[in-house]
C-alpha cells in the first residue's frame, strides 16, 4: 500500500516509518510511506502556508491554495487514486472497523493540520474523510496520522508475521485481549494461572475466552453493546453469565 502524508513536519515520520514492524513492511515492499512538505506549495519565498483567520481570533489557519494544489499535484502522480484523509478532532472516530476499511483501500493520502486547522474550503473542494483518533486536541495531525498508519499497516497481508495474532487481537473479535504471562512461573509470590501450564488446549482456549469476556463486560460494556450482533453463541452465553443485565439490554436492542 502506498501512503502519502502531507505535513509541515516530514521529519517526524522518519524514524517512525523505519522502525519495527513498519520498517520491515517498508523493506519488504508491502508498504510505502512518502512524506510531502506542504511548504513546497506555499507559493512564497518563506514557505509560509498559514494566515490569520477571517473574523479574528486566536491562532493561524492553513491556507486553501497550498493544500489543494499539493493534493492535486500528488494525485496526478499516483496511477491508482488513493483515499484522501484529513486528521482532525471533529472527524469520524478511528476504530478497528475504520482501520479495516482504510486497509482495504489501494492507497491513502493523509493531510496533517497544525494550528487552528485548514481553511474550510479544503474540505469543500477535496471532500477528504475527516478522521479523529479520540476526543482530545493534539498540537497537530502528525501523531494522529501515525496512529492511523500503524493501525492500518498491521492489517495488510504479510505485515504481521503471524496473521492469527492480528485476528485474535483486541477489538477484532469485539472483545478485549485476555491476560498474558511468560517465564518465570512464580514472581514475588504471584503464580501463573495453573490452566496455562496444563497443556490442555481446549481448557486454555476456554479460560482465555472467559477472561476476555469478563474484562470486556466490566471495563468496556460499550464494546459489548457495539459488537453483540457479531458475537458467536459461546461469547453471548458468557456475557449472559458475567453480566446478565447487559446481555438482556443487548438482546432487547436486537
Quote the cell numbers at residue 200.
Answer: 490442555
Q: Residues 169-188 vs ligand ADE: string with x where CB under 6 A?
A: --------------------
C-alpha 112 chain-centroid distance? 15
Residue 148 CB, shortest distance to ligand ADE, in Å, is 9
Burial 235-245 (b: 16+ CB within 10 A, else e): bbebbbebbee
Binder to ligand ADE among 66, 89, 128, 173 (CB under 6 A)?
89
Among residues 89, 114, 128, 214, which one is catalytic?
A: 89
Q: Is 10 a catalytic residue?
A: no
Residue 148: closest CA among 249, 1, 27: 1
Binder to ligand ADE among 59, 81, 106, 134 (CB under 6 A)?
134
> Between residues 110 and 224, which has the closer beta carbon with respect to ligand ADE?
110
Residue 110 CB, shortest distance to ligand ADE, in Å, is 10
> Between residues 5 and 133, which has the closer beta carbon with respect to ligand ADE?
133
Binder to ligand ADE among 132, 153, 212, 227 (CB under 6 A)?
132
Residue 50: closest CA among 130, 122, 148, 142: 122
| Local structure of 25: helix, strand or coil | helix
Residue 246 in the binding site for ligand ADE (CB under 6 A)? no
Binder to ligand ADE among 144, 149, 155, 175 (CB under 6 A)?
144
**Cβ-Cβ contacts under 8 Å for 147 (sequence gap 6 or more):** 94, 133
Residue 141 CB, shortest distance to ligand ADE, in Å, is 4
Q: Is 154 a catalytic residue?
A: yes
Binder to ligand ADE among 66, 82, 128, 141 (CB under 6 A)?
141
Residue 31 in the binding site for ligand ADE (CB under 6 A)? no
- Residues 119 and 55: beta-carbon distance below 8 Å: no
Q: Rounded distance, CA 60 to CA 38, Å?
A: 15
Among residues 130, 169, 208, 240, which one is catalytic?
A: 169
Q: Is 183 a catalytic residue?
A: no
Burial 215-231 (b: 16+ CB within 10 A, else e): bbbeebbebbeebbeeb
| Local structure of 88: helix, strand or coil | strand
Q: Is 142 a catalytic residue?
A: no
Q: Rounded distance, CA 166 to CA 152, Å?
A: 11
> Between residues 28 and 92, which has the closer beta carbon with respect to ligand ADE?
92
User: Which are the catalytic amino acids?
Assistant: 89, 116, 154, 169
> By the criterion CB under 6 A, which residues form the site for ligand ADE?
87-89, 132-134, 136-138, 141, 144
Amino acid at each position: 500500500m502506498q501512503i502519502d502524508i502531507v505535513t509541515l513536519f516530514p521529519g517526524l515520520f522518519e524514524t517512525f516509518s523505519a522502525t519495527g514492524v513498519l520498517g520491515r513492511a517498508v523493506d519488504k515492499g508491502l508498504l510505502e510511506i512518502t512524506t510531502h512538505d506542504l511548504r513546497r506549495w506555499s507559493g512564497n519565498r518563506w514557505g509560509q502556508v498559514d494566515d490569520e483567520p477571517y473574523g479574528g481570533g486566536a491562532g493561524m489557519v492553513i491556507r486553501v491554495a497550498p493544500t489543494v494544489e499539493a493534493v492535486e499535484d500528488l494525485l496526478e502522480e499516483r496511477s491508482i487514486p488513493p483515499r484522501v484523509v484529513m486528521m482532525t478532532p471533529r472527524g469520524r472516530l478511528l476504530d478497528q472497523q475504520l482501520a479495516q476499511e482504510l486497509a482495504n483501500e489501494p492507497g491513502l493520502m493523509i493531510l496533517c493540520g497544525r494550528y487552528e486547522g485548514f481553511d474550510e474550503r479544503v474540505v469543500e473542494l477535496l471532500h477528504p474523510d475527516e478522521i479523529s483518533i479520540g476526543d482530545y486536541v493534539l498540537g497537530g495531525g502528525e501523531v494522529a496520522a501515525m496512529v492511523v498508519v500503524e493501525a492500518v499497516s498491521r492489517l495488510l497481508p504479510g505485515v504481521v508475521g503471524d496473521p492469527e495474532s492480528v485476528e485474535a487481537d483486541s477489538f477484532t473479535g469485539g472483545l478485549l485481549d485476555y491476560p498474558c504471562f511468560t517465564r518465570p512461573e512464580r514472581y514475588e509470590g504471584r503464580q501463573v494461572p495453573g490452566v496455562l501450564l496444563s497443556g490442555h488446549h481446549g481448557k486454555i482456549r476456554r479460560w482465555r475466552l472467559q477472561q476476555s469476556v469478563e474484562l470486556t463486560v466490566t471495563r468496556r460494556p460499550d464494546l459489548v453493546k457495539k459488537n453483540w450482533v457479531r458475537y458467536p453463541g459461546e461469547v453471548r452465553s458468557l456475557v449472559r453469565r458475567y453480566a446478565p443485565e447487559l446481555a438482556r439490554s443487548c438482546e432487547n436492542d436486537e
